[in-house]
Chains A and B, each alone.
Chain A
Amino acid sequence: AQSVTQLDSHVSVSEGTPVLLRCNYSSSYSPSLFWYVQHPNKGLQLLLKYTSAATLVKGINGFEAEFKKSETSFHLTKPSAHMSDAAEYFCVVRPTGGGNKLTFGTGTQLKVEL
């Protein structure tokens, strides 16, 4: 079974400093991986996705993630945090070959301080 592990339940950064949200995946084959963001009282929004093309994936709002097969990781980064980035972030895996069941991690709550 495929799964993702988000290593930090909470991350706190200062505005203007880099963001790193960690995610490791477990999969027998090359999976499709995603990052979603959930702002308070808003629906989940897709930030970016990896589907076996380029290993460095750029998403919206300046976020990017790098797929590292040797480390089974798909960490989310942003060079400079903004107050509006405060939200919950979910790392997500989709089974190899497609399929309907996205498997979500437990989420990382990002706090951005002045």
Chain B
Amino acid sequence: GAGVSQTPSNKVTEKGKYVELRCDPISGHTALYWYRQSLGQGPEFLIYFQGTGAADDSGLPNDRFFAVRPEGSVSTLKIQRTERGDSAVYLCASSLGGPRTGELFFGEGSRLTVL
């Protein structure tokens, strides 16, 4: 597709369940980012990939959160033992170069609701 694609667009789950959110970046973009946007707040950085490796995962809130990008394209954000406080919109972005150069292109987000 032409833009960053995120699936699912909406996910409702129960506390304690496992969730996967997928991001398909713009073709050819080597850098991929995950952000989280809670209600009434701006997006907050979670993790950044350059190629297949996580170059900076300092924004992940705890070890329940994990992300992979095995082939340097699609990325999956994984959340174990979900809690109500994990409810938010999870945004993915990609860029052609690294963060110093490329404009970030954002997807529409995956809205996660934990009941």
Contacts and interface: CB of A to CB of B under 8 A. Distances in A.
Contacts of A99: 99-100
Majority secondary structure, B binding face: loop
A: contact size bracket: 20 to 34
Nearest to A104: B42
B: contact size bracket: 20 to 34
Interface in B55-99: 55-56, 58-59, 91, 93, 98-99
Contacts of A44: 43, 91, 93, 104, 106
Contact of A102 (B40, B45, B55, B98): B45
Given A42-B108, A43-B106, A44-B91, A101 B42 contact: no
Nearest to B9: A41
29 contacts: A36-B106, A41-B108, A43-B3, A43-B91, A43-B106, A44-B104, A44-B106, A46-B103, A49-B103, A92-B42, A94-B99, A98-B98, A98-B99, A98-B100, A100-B33, A100-B56, A100-B99, A101-B48, A101-B56, A102-B35, A102-B43, A102-B99, A103-B45, A104-B43, A105-B42, A106-B40, A106-B41, A107-B40, A107-B42
